[in-house]
Amino acid sequence: MLCTRPVALLVAFLAACSSPIALAQTAPTVHPDRWPRAHSPVRQDAATEKRITSILARMSVEEKVGQTLQPEMKSITPADVITYHIGSIENGGGSVPGGNKHASVGDWLRMIDSYWRASVDPRHKGPRVPLMWASDAVHGHNNVFGATLFPHNIGLGAARDPDLIRRIGAATAEEVRVLGMDWSFAPTLAVVQDDRWGRTYESYSEDPAIVAEYATAMVSGLQGSGRTFLDRDHVIATAKHFLGDGGTDGGRDQGDNLASEEVLRDVHGAGYPAAINGGVQAVMASFSSWHGVKLHANKPLLTDVLKDRMGFDGLVIGDWNAHGQVPGCSKGDCPVAFNAGIDVFNVPEDWKALYASMVREVKDGTVPMARLDDAVRRVLRVKMRANVFDQGLPSSRPHAGDTALLGATTHRAVAREAVAKSLVLLKNDPGLLPIDPRGHRILVVGAGADDIGKQTGGWSLSWQGNDNANIDFPGATSIWKGIKAAVEAGGGTAVLSHDGRFTGTKPDAAIVVFGENPYAEFQGDQADVALHVENAESLSLLRRLRAAQVPTAAVLISGRPLYLNPQINAADAFVAAWLPGSEGAGIADVLIAKSDGAPAHDFQGKLPFSWPKRPDQTPLNVGQPGYDPQFAFGYGLTYAHPARVGTLPEAKVAVETAARGVFLKDGVGTNGFALAIGDAQAPRIAAVGARIATYGAEALTLRRVDRRRQEDAWSAAWTGTEDAWIELARSEPMDLSREANGAMVLQLELNVTRPPTAAVTLTVGGGEVPVGGLLRRSGDWMRLRVPLRCFGTAGGNLTGVSAIRLRTAGAFNILLSDVSLQETAAGDQCPAGK
């Protein structure tokens, strides 16, 4: 029936059928009296409160509103700080002065000084309130060239060493101070329950007790405590993301947590009283929802529980544009979030609109003046506790500009210690480890061996961390360099071989380093807990070395536990190294024996997350009914207490090898997408295998062609006799709304072999965008890039995408090899015209 409808109607009909009905959701009732109280050691001080009262009395509504907005540095000028009385600025992940990721300490300081000066400019009529600068120093001061990068939190969770966490916090705070900044958006206190989430590595553990213990340790490391609280060596910490970020359904980024109030409190909430007891001064609200209600709109949790019950008297900051996701809100207008308890909006770009709407809403009573005063009081209180009023120009503060402190030897030593302590030994059957270097030749193999970008992971110089090379990390040590130094010091030789091939005599042992490539936030979300890069490659490498009878140890780089039984079986020893950061030498410290053959350091790491037996075994958490992991939470062998692992069962489950954002790879549909052709009469004729799909009197033919390899692309030829399309179709709709909100771009790798004679459109989720104008040139492989949001603007429903369709009524020929989601680059925009 549908097939006979005209196309335009069909598309409109599908869009209407699949758009979600905006239901007014209500979260379950919260009972604040059932939540724990917390006791911050940082007491309110009468003199400070009096001083705040007198400042507030002299502030206009506009000046107060300015304190509640935190723009991102790329979207604001120092002059704006004066005009809009801005209270704080952040640099987002990978946001660096002049867009130069090698920016120097001087570049940073000059920039931050210019904004700071504007905040105390005499042109402000009311009180001059110096601004604060915030950055995501989540594993060291990771946005900054030359900084020490500590292991990501998952590795620290394996170390089970709160004192180490405190020292990492202290070293990080000093490096933040070198840049004259006041505030870090760390620690993350997510208690991740489903390791498909792309932020699993930002979590210390699936166990709330570890997260709670580390929360106090990291907060006191960053902020200091007692006499050192927020002194010249320390910075403001942020407990994030309140609340339930690690428990979203299916591990979806920014998703919905469906836990009961008890689980929300005892599992996901465990870190917050602990952070408050450590004196934390900022809490970041979570993007996620609880039973369908965005945390940014949940007053019972933000105000009644966090502020009232737990007595948190610091400030609550929103997350990146998260208020804009609250029903009825936009990025530039959201009184609901403010009234629910957000004190400072994280509003990277749309802060002028938000300033205007807030001023208006305070004046018309939508936002009560008492709420505004409370929020600004909290901001001023934190500024006073952090001595922001008295410290002066950022570049003039203690440690500012001290380049020797950035990536200092002492800090790198702490990071190296952390790497060594984070390693978890899963298997060491014939006792291959520690590798005896004396007179031996050690082959070091694999894509992760000499790749500092890979070992540092996401949130490293850039947001995703996937565009870095070794030269981007001065002072850092790759895993290979660390092994080489240790082997040579022990009287052996080490050889690097990317693909595992060797010439001459057989090596005495090999170390294969492989694993995940860097990702951050939703870009790391997966449908399972399998390895999606280097899966086949790592396995054949290990099997080849085994066939050559080279004793081999595997070292896995990953942001989560992964089902890897075939690789574990193919290796003699297997080490989970997580995302170790800049000090790769910590791996050799444990894997390579000393020159007397004895271990230099034993393994200390214990699994912070349960290790799966199958790629689809998730959620998998200790204590759950029927708990049956491959390696249990807390597992970890040592040299002192060896044990045999033997051969592990290999699951017969098909593993999707493509990352989530890949829909056509080398001509093969992935993530459930399959290539088809159609028109209004016969909307979906599958292109099966290598067979040619043809519609009607050859109005459109689709056949396989070679691009880089045999049959790795398709040729689509429209004759112009019919309005017809090719499409990537999926039986179950896929939710791409998070990707659209994350500014992802849909990219088609194609080659126009005959330019179109009529309009061409690209449709996603029913939203149709004209692309013909971008396809006029012929003869070369090119990338057709359309920001996902353009399909939403064109009326598409990105929560349920079941087809990506390229359509024309004209004559047109293309070759097509790949379709995927990519990060936004300069120049990406919604196409206009035909």
Catalytic residue IDs: 319, 521
Q: Which is nearer to ligand BGC, 285 or 620 (CB)?
A: 285
**Rounded least distance, CB 319 to ligand BGC, Å:** 5
Distance (Å, rounded) from C-alpha 48 to C-alpha 230?
A: 15
Identify which of residues 331 and 484 has a Cβ nearer to ligand BGC in the complex.
331
CB of 138 to ligand BGC, least distance (A): 7
Give the nearest distance from C-beta 73 to ligand BGC in angstroms: 11
Answer for which of 67, 95, 478, 582 binds ligand BGC (CB under 6 A) is: 95
CB 154 within 8 A of CB 200: yes
CB nearer ligand BGC, residue 95 or residue 808: 95
How far does CA 160 lie from the centroid of its chain?
Answer: 23
Residues 710-729 contacting ligand BGC, CB under 6 A: none
Interface with ligand BGC, residue 136, by CB under 6 A:
yes
Rule CB under 6 A: say whether 143 interacts with ligand BGC.
Answer: no
Residue nearer to ligand BGC on the CB measure, 330 or 719: 330
State which residue, 7 or 211, has the beta carbon closest to ligand BGC.
211
Q: How far, in Å, CA of 605 to CA of 54, rounded?
A: 52
CB of 30 to ligand BGC, least distance (A): 23
DSSP secondary structure letters along 309-345: IS---SEEEPPTTGGGGSTT-BTTB-HHHHHHT--BE
Q: Which range touches ligand BGC (CB under 6 A), out of 88-96, 534-542, 568-576, 664-672? A: 88-96
320 near ligand BGC, judged by CB under 6 A:
yes
- 507 is a site residue for ligand BGC (CB under 6 A): no
Other beta carbons within 10 angstroms of residue 536's beta carbon come to 12
Helix (H) or strand (E) run with residue 568 in it: helix 565-570
- 610 interacts with ligand BGC by CB under 6 A: no
Query: What is the rounded distance in angstroms from the CA atom of residue 713 to the CA atom of residue 665?
Result: 9
Residue from 94, 669, 756, 772 that binds ligand BGC (CB under 6 A)?
Answer: 94
Could you say whether residue 185 binds ligand BGC (CB under 6 A)? yes
Number of residues that bind ligand BGC (CB under 6 A): 13
Using CB under 6 A as the binding rule, whether residue 756 contacts ligand BGC is answered as no
**C-beta of 136 vs 206, nearer to ligand BGC:** 136
Residue number, nearest CB to ligand BGC: 92
- Distance set, CA 427 to CA 424, 432, 579, 587 (Å): 9, 10, 19, 16
Compute the least distance from the CB of residue 140 to ligand BGC, in Å. 15
* Binding status of residue 458 toward ligand BGC by CB under 6 A: no
Please tell me the distance from the alpha carbon of residue 167 to that of residue 412, in angstroms, as a whole number: 12
Is 742 near ligand BGC (CB under 6 A)?
yes
According to CB under 6 A, which residues from 343 to 382 bind ligand BGC?
Answer: none
Q: Which stretch binds ligand BGC (CB under 6 A): 91-99, 170-178, 429-437, 644-652?
A: 91-99
Tokens of 725: 């399309």
Listed in sequence order, the residues at least 6 apart from 518 whose beta carbon sits closer than 8 Å to its beta carbon are 453, 454, 456, 457, 458, 460, 464, 465, 466, 468
238 or 478: CB nearest ligand BGC: 238
Establish if 244 lies at the interface with ligand BGC (CB under 6 A).
no
By CB under 6 A, which span of 89-97, 122-130, 223-231, 617-625 interacts with ligand BGC? 89-97
Strand segments (E) across 455-571: 493-497, 509-515, 552-557
Spatial distance between the Cα atoms of 462 and 520, rounded to a whole number of angstroms: 10
Contact assessment for residue 310 and residue 316, using Cβ atoms and an 8 Å cutoff: no
Distance CA 511, CA 506 (A): 14
Q: How far is residue 246 from each of residues 194, 256, 290, 772, measured CA to CA in Å?
A: 7, 10, 11, 43
Identify the three-state secondary structure at position 200: helix
Contact in structure between 104 and 38 (CB atoms under 8 Å) = no
Q: Is residue 463 close enough to count as binding ligand BGC by CB under 6 A?
A: yes
CB of 466 to ligand BGC, least distance (A): 13
| 8: nearest Cα among 810, 799, 767 | 767
Cα dihedral: 161, 166, 171, 175 (round 10): 120
Q: Which of 161, 319, 333, 768 binds ligand BGC (CB under 6 A)?
A: 319
Gap between the Cα atoms of 94 and 468, Å rounded: 11
Q: Closer to ligand BGC at the Cβ: 35 or 320?
A: 320
Question: What whole-number distance in Å separates Cα of residue 439 and Cα of residue 77?
Answer: 61
94 phi and psi angles, rounded to 5 deg: 75, 5
Q: Which is nearer to ligand BGC, 318 or 796 (CB)?
A: 318
Q: Which two tokens stand for residue 542?
A: 């290990």
**CB nearer ligand BGC, residue 92 or residue 551:** 92
263-302 residues in contact with ligand BGC (CB under 6 A) are: 287
Residue range at the interface with ligand BGC (CB under 6 A); choices 43-51, 86-94, 477-485, 620-628? 86-94
Cα–Cα distance measured from residue 672 to residue 664, given in angstroms and rounded to the nearest whole number: 10
Cβ 666 to ligand BGC shortest distance, Å: 29
Angle (deg, nearest 10), helices 162-178 and 208-223: 40
Rounded CA Rg of the chain: 28
**341 contacts ligand BGC (rule: CB under 6 A):** no
Give 415: exposed, middle or buried? Use CB within 10 Å, 0-12, 13-18, 19+. Answer: buried
Closest separation in Å from C-beta 507 to ligand BGC: 43
Asked if residue 67 lies in contact with residue 365, where contact means CB atoms within 8 angstroms, the answer is: no
When binding is defined by CB under 6 A, the residue of 66, 71, 93, 247 that contacts ligand BGC is 93
Dist CA 310 CA 34 (whole Å): 11
The whole-angstrom separation of Cα 144 and Cα 100 is 10
Cβ 213 to ligand BGC shortest distance, Å: 21
CB of 136 to ligand BGC, least distance (A): 5
Rank residues 539 and 790 by Cβ distance to ligand BGC and give the closer one.
790
Residues 521-580 that bind ligand BGC (CB under 6 A): 521
Does 92 help bind ligand BGC (rule: CB under 6 A)? Answer: yes
Q: How far is the CB of 318 from ligand BGC (least distance, A)?
A: 9
Residues of the shown chain interacting with ligand BGC in the complex, contacts defined by CB under 6 A: 92-95, 136, 185, 240, 287, 319-320, 463, 521, 742
